[in-house]
Structure 1
Amino acid sequence: MTNFKLGLDFAKQLDKNDSLASFRHQFHIPKDQHGNDVIYLCGNSLGLQPKITKDYINQELEDWANLGVEGHTEGKNPWLHYHEFLTETMANIVGAKSSEVVVMNSLTANLHFMMVSFYQPTPKRYKILIEADAFPSDKYAVESQLRHHGFDDKEGLILWKAREGEELANYDDLEAILKEQGDEIALIMIGGVNYYTGQFFDLKRITELGHKHGCVVGFDCAHGAGNVALNLHDSGADFAVWCSYKYLNSGPGSLSGAFVHNRHANRKDLNRFTGWWSHNKQTRFKMRDEFDQLPGAEGWQLSNPPILSMAAIRASLDVFKDAGFENLLHKSKQLTGYFEFLINKLNHSDIKIITPSNPSERGCQLSIQVKNANRSLHDKLTEAGVISDWREPDVIRCAPVPLYNSFEDVYNMVERLKDIL
């Protein structure tokens, strides 16, 4: 890792030496009221738009205009199999085999569809374990699954909590929970990267621990996909889901990804909701055939894909392909490491980074806790041209994204924070 130094000149030197620096120019950077680029550190909430996205969507609009229904087979990128254009690059980003990945639906919908198959409660083993500060939608989803199966959503939900006075979850505590209640837990469903603290969990360790106690293990990787090396196949997880509009830059509310480990690829015994897009591709349009389930993750699809949204995902994935995900991970560690260095050099008694300091236990996000602060601090940062994310009660989440953020962005953000403090 670089020996970092203070000063703007050093930030500019890092940018000069950055082999990925040109990718910033492939994105639309929002402007402030004076027409200057804002410092956009909110890719953990909504990624910026690649400049090629409009062309990718326009291509499908053109084919729709010129071909109508024939676009399904005669378009430049035939719509019938459009989701397949995304699979290989997406699988590479999340560390999976192509047969284990599909892009479909929205995030919480996919989580529910996965739980239809992988949450199989019995009177004895019915509880669901999640991290205590999981993203609210995950908590609501698993609670509703408990209710749906006739269980009490409070008694059936087990929370993996951080210790008193600490922010990060501890694996020893998870082991203790499983040792005590493992035979009652049907499903472990953890956010791969915690949205609040930025802690990147050891997916393989959690999976092996869960499987040892007979639990199914799944992950919500919304804050991990495109941000960290998830290695989903090697983790052994039964399933995972993620959105594409954060680090994957596909636009607000865009589609979700789903992973199903290939050991489940041909399991017809699993409950699942089905539709015509999970039916055998060769006979799908014969219409009157009995259901013939596709193998792999594609066998969890329901409907034909929304092409315009997928075109935006395809645009972003092509940028990822050009940059190389390994290269992005390398830059990300350096960029966030530099950010951490500058924050720590503030030596401000009210500031504390609650994200793990070990680069292998985090992605690009740093969650900065500011004692005695309220949202007015975040508002002042916004007025100063820094787009970040405020989370109650006292945390600013900042994500310097390696595709479009520079070292100078990080330097200027810390300088503006210093001025405000």
Structure 2
Amino acid sequence: MIYQNTLAFALEQDEHDPLKSFRQEFLIPQHNGKDAIYLCGNSLGLQPRSAKQHLKAQLDAWETHAVEGWFTGDAPWLSYHKQLIPTLADILGAKPAEVTIMNSLTVNLHLLMVSFYKPTTKRYKILMEAGAFPSDQYAVESQVKFHGYSVEDAVIEVKPREGEVTLRTEDILRQINDNAGELALVLFSGINYYTGQFFDLEAIAKAGHEAGAYVGFDLAHAAGNVPLELHNWGADFASWCSYKYMNSGPGGISGAFVHEKYFADDALSRFAGWWGYRQDKRFLMAPGFQPEIGAEGWNVSTAPILLLALHKASLEIFERAGGLKTLRAKSERLTGYFEYLVNGINQKAGTEVYKIITPANAADRGAQLSVVCKNNARAIFNYLEQNGVMGDWREPDVIRLSAVPLYNSFTDVYNAAECLFKALEATNS
């Protein structure tokens, strides 16, 4: 696509956007009586208009049926989650049996590491990217300490080269290969939260397995954002959150992927609960845990129906929009346009006032652009907020801006770039 730095171009793109009607399915925050320019879907997705309807339906079922709601009504709670699985599996590139919905992201990572972090005297190290989201760092640190190892010895962090911000795939693979004899687990983010880099998960999974390690992924910033093929890539496990690009509410429910090759592996440890017991015998209340076949066998606690209802509201929109392939096509154009406009600001200014640290190659990023402000960074972010552009601040000088294809427009991106340009003069005066 040949971009143009004009409002007319942005309006024309919006007019011919096959996804333009989906913007109306979300509630957009208001600023001075108009829609704010919301570019923070990487942190919290917007509320679907249908969320209240889905939530009310389950509140009504609770009111009408009380405990019998688990077995009666239009959508009995005992199997309610099964309505969500096919769409979610499509988003993740997984078989439906490989996906379950449960808990929150870090809880799931801990539960999955019970199964897939099995340190031995020889193999006990975990490899991850340096600069992973702190929650992942804390989870990994606590896991290795729980097993009696020191963080300094057992955790390998792959860092960017000197003078670079993002990781090179060859450096990740080399670190895996160099530590092959000691690796128990490779645990990588799908997309780095700070830089927005989309890692080559297929290559990482292949290298990790060749090194004799398990491989798992944190897909917090990838699920609902970029195409995934967890089954075909051979990932052993993964988890994600639903409140970013999947728009399922603050603290929305998470999920877990477990590859089908482990369904009959009795050697895997797991922390068990009643909700993961085989469904055909669950109500016999018998002693001795027998897991349900598939990822659902990793469930622990009863499904939170109200959170599932919010998740269902968003997943229905994904299905009607045509899935990730359709969304990704618009996302690449939208993010590419934003990148073009930001680079244009630098040209106007005659110097690099805004440095994009997210990879320039569309295949190596999702919707997010991480922008380093060379001067007056916090003041620029404040100016954006005061003028109705909602992004995300990261110390010391980065603004994360994500144009989400379901509800953001080319006009949003154009106006946000105009605001970034005006912020230069406003913060220098």
TM-score, structure 1 normalization: 0.98
Aligned-partner Cα distance in 1 for 2:421–2:175:
42
Aligned-partner Cα distance in 1 for 2:274–2:177:
42
Matching residue within 355, 359, 362 for 2:362: 359
Matching residue within 194, 207, 215 for 2:213: 215
Aligned-partner Cα distance in 1 for 2:403–2:327:
12
2:22 paired with 1:23:
yes
Aligned-partner Cα distance in 2 for 1:146–1:64:
43
Aligned partner letter, 1:165: G
Aligned partner letter, 1:20: L
Matching residue within 219, 230, 233 for 1:232: 230
Counterpart in 2 of 1:394?
Answer: 397
Matching residue within 72, 79, 82 for 1:81: 79
Aligned-partner Cα distance in 2 for 1:259–1:175:
23
Aligned partner letter, 1:5: Q
Counterpart in 2 of 1:104?
Answer: 102
TM-score, structure 2 normalization: 0.96
* Partners of 2:166 and 2:195 within 8 A in 1: yes
* Partners of 1:192 and 1:224 within 8 A in 2: yes
Aligned partner letter, 1:28: L
Matching residue within 384, 388, 405 for 1:385: 388
Aligned partner letter, 1:337: G
Question: Which one is further off, 348-357 or 202-211?
Answer: 348-357
Structure 1: runs of 5+ lacking an equivalent: none
Aligned-partner Cα distance in 2 for 1:240–1:395:
28
Aligned-partner Cα distance in 2 for 1:262–1:375:
47
* Partners of 1:168 and 1:199 within 8 A in 2: yes
Matching residue within 119, 142, 145 for 2:143: 145
Aligned-partner Cα distance in 2 for 1:38–1:236:
41
Aligned partner letter, 1:256: S
Counterpart in 2 of 1:56?
Answer: 54
Aligned-partner Cα distance in 1 for 2:176–2:50:
48
Aligned-partner Cα distance in 2 for 1:277–1:375:
47
Counterpart in 2 of 1:376?
Answer: 379
Shift in Å, 1:360: 0.9
Counterpart in 1 of 2:179?
Answer: 181
| 1:157-306 alignment runs, 5 A limit | 157-306=155-304
Per-residue displacement from partner, 1:213-248 (whole Å, max 9, x unpaired)? 111110000000000001111111100100000000
Aligned-partner Cα distance in 2 for 1:140–1:97:
30
Shift in Å, 1:289: 4.5
2:347 paired with 1:344:
no
Aligned partner letter, 1:198: G
Aligned partner letter, 1:333: E
Aligned-partner Cα distance in 2 for 1:178–1:284:
42
Aligned partner letter, 1:404: Y
Aligned-partner Cα distance in 2 for 1:167–1:287:
54
Aligned partner letter, 1:409: D
* Partners of 1:47 and 1:246 within 8 A in 2: yes
* Partners of 2:169 and 2:200 within 8 A in 1: no
Counterpart in 1 of 2:406?
Answer: 403
Question: Which one is further off, 176-185 or 260-269?
Answer: 176-185
Shift in Å, 1:285: 0.6
Aligned-partner Cα distance in 1 for 2:286–2:108:
27
Counterpart in 2 of 1:319?
Answer: 317
Aligned partner letter, 1:52: S
Shift in Å, 1:292: 1.6
Per-residue displacement from partner, 1:278-305 (whole Å, max 9, x unpaired)? 1110110111253221111101001110
* Partners of 2:384 and 2:419 within 8 A in 1: yes
Counterpart in 1 of 2:427?
Answer: none
Aligned-partner Cα distance in 2 for 1:289–1:187:
32
* Partners of 2:177 and 2:207 within 8 A in 1: no
Question: Which one is further off, 400-409 or 389-398?
Answer: 389-398
Shift in Å, 1:176: 2.7
Aligned partner letter, 1:24: R
Which 4+ runs in 1 deviate beyond 3 A?
Answer: none
Q: What secondary structure is seen at the aligned counterpart in 2 of 1:240?
A: strand
Q: What secondary structure is seen at the aligned counterpart in 2 of 1:117?
A: helix
Shift in Å, 1:372: 3.3
* Partners of 1:143 and 1:154 within 8 A in 2: no
Aligned-partner Cα distance in 1 for 2:149–2:377:
39
Aligned-partner Cα distance in 1 for 2:50–2:170:
46
Shift in Å, 1:264: 0.9
Shift in Å, 1:58: 0.2
Structure 2: runs of 5+ lacking an equivalent: 425-429
Counterpart in 2 of 1:37?
Answer: 35
Aligned-partner Cα distance in 2 for 1:9–1:372:
30
Aligned partner letter, 1:233: H
Question: Which one is further off, 323-332 or 137-146?
Answer: 323-332
Counterpart in 2 of 1:13?
Answer: 12
* Partners of 1:63 and 1:71 within 8 A in 2: yes
Aligned-partner Cα distance in 2 for 1:267–1:9:
59
Per-residue displacement from partner, 1:335-363 (whole Å, max 9, x unpaired)? 11111111111124121111111111111
Q: What secondary structure is seen at the aligned counterpart in 2 of 1:403?
A: coil
Could you tell me the percent identity over the aligned residues? 53
Aligned-partner Cα distance in 2 for 1:187–1:311:
34
Aligned CA RMSD, in angstroms, stands at 0.9
* Partners of 2:219 and 2:240 within 8 A in 1: yes
Shift in Å, 1:51: 0.2
